[in-house]
Amino acid sequence: MMKLKATSVAVALVVAGSAWAAVAVRDEPIKPIEPAKVENAAKVELGKKLWFEPRLSMSGIISCNTCHNLSMGGTDNLKTSIGHGWKAGPVNSPTVYNSSLAIAQFWDGRAADLKEQAGGPIQAGVEMNMPHTLAVGILQSIPGYVEEFESVYGKNKIDIDMITDSIAEFEKTLVTPDSRFDKWLRGDDKALSEKELAGYTLFKESGCVACHNGPAAGGTSFQRMGVVEPYKSSSPAEGRSAVTGADADRFNFKVPTLRNVALTYPYFHDGEAATLEQAVDTMGRLQLGRTYSKDEIGQIVAFLKTLTGELPQIAMPVLPPSSNATPRPDPFK
């Protein structure tokens, strides 16, 4: 895709078959998702293998894809995830799709970027429970990986930085352009129904876009959960204050993306909102001091469902087999 900047609106030239069409992007607080640009296909392919690699977990059965299932909107659709030893995690697993567009990673933003994030769940006791040194040792014992890391990084010694770097590179390809809302943003008036458009207007005019803006319709700021009314939760998660130490940051969480939100139920950092209707109702009351009517909630939900984009086609990788020297998984450790 080529992109030209005009004075007031971005003008995109989109190739569709052999026909060219000039499309003005509407000036809205939510912007279209751009397709992924793959700069290093070999690194992405390696990262994809590691994304699906259960040998990065102590048990040998948990991979990144277990909790961020690419077949299910990049989530596990559980309130909180199940990890090593069947332990429940403390917060809801956010979607990996479009996560590259966020200002920081994790609900509390404790990782600056995807690369920094990727190392966390590997070693977390309630997730994959795998020390980084052992993860490296395992991959280093697998001839297929040694060869592939060498071809990508030019070294025959694998390190944890290469592992997280290639996983992040794969994750950057997990964007979901071409939702119906994006088609509308690019000028297709018929892409949204009247109800959906009414829902978007209400979403915008009642203030949701103050936080849910940008290409990901979220992910651009940290905000307090419970602005007008406090949010009641049994979750121990304190949010941003766990990172900054500042009391003012208590219960501040990264605003989640609304992209593919119809696929990423249940909602909120504690997964306590089972449906979109519940989530919209709670957000209206707690964040905006507004009680939406049933019809209004229906309109906003109809709009939210137009944010489901085209999920990338992912071919399952064939993982290189362990060697006799590879440390075996230990589910009960």
Contact 309, 260 (CB under 8 A): yes
Q: How many angstroms separate the first and last alpha carbons of the chain?
A: 50
Smallest separation (angstroms) from a copy of itself to the CB of 50: 11
What is the residue-wise DSSP string for 120-167? HHHH-TTTT---HHHHHHHHHT-HHHHHHHHHHHS-SS--HHHHHHHH
Backbone angles phi, psi at 162, to 5 degrees: -65, -40
Binding residues for heme c: 64, 67-68, 84, 208, 211-212, 283
Question: Other C-beta atoms within 10 Å of 121: how many?
Answer: 25
| Pick 19 or 315: Cβ nearer a copy of itself | 315
Question: Other C-beta atoms within 10 Å of 35: how many?
Answer: 14
Options 127, 196, 272, 296, the catalytic residue: 127
Token digits of residue 300:
């906003």
Smallest separation (angstroms) from a copy of itself to the CB of 84: 8
| Pick 207 or 317: Cβ nearer a copy of itself | 317
Contact 239, 270 (CB under 8 A): no
Contact 288, 208 (CB under 8 A): yes
44: enclosing H helix or E strand: helix 41-51
What is the residue-wise DSSP string for 4-31? EE-SSSEEEEEEETTEEEEEEPP--SS-
| Pick 211 or 304: Cβ nearer a copy of itself | 304
Smallest separation (angstroms) from a copy of itself to the CB of 168: 19
| Pick 2 or 332: Cβ nearer a copy of itself | 332
**Token match 């332990």: residue?**
87
Contact 122, 167 (CB under 8 A): no
CA angle 97, 100, 102 (to 5 degrees): 100
| Pick 19 or 318: Cβ nearer a copy of itself | 318
Smallest separation (angstroms) from a copy of itself to the CB of 53: 8
Smallest separation (angstroms) from a copy of itself to the CB of 150: 21
**Residue 238 is a catalytic residue:** no
Contact 32, 302 (CB under 8 A): no
Judged by the rule CB under 8 A, the positions of this chain that interact with a copy of itself are 52, 54-55, 59-61, 66, 69-73, 76-78, 81-82, 85-86, 88, 262-263, 265-266, 274-275, 277, 311, 313-319, 321-322, 324, 328-329, 331-332
Smallest separation (angstroms) from a copy of itself to the CB of 147: 16
| Pick 77 or 140: Cβ nearer a copy of itself | 77
Classify 17 in phi/psi space as left (phi over 0), alpha (psi -120 to 50) or beta.
left
Contacts of 174 (CB under 8 A, 6+ apart): 36, 70, 74, 96, 97, 98, 99, 100, 312
Catalytic sites, residue numbers: 127
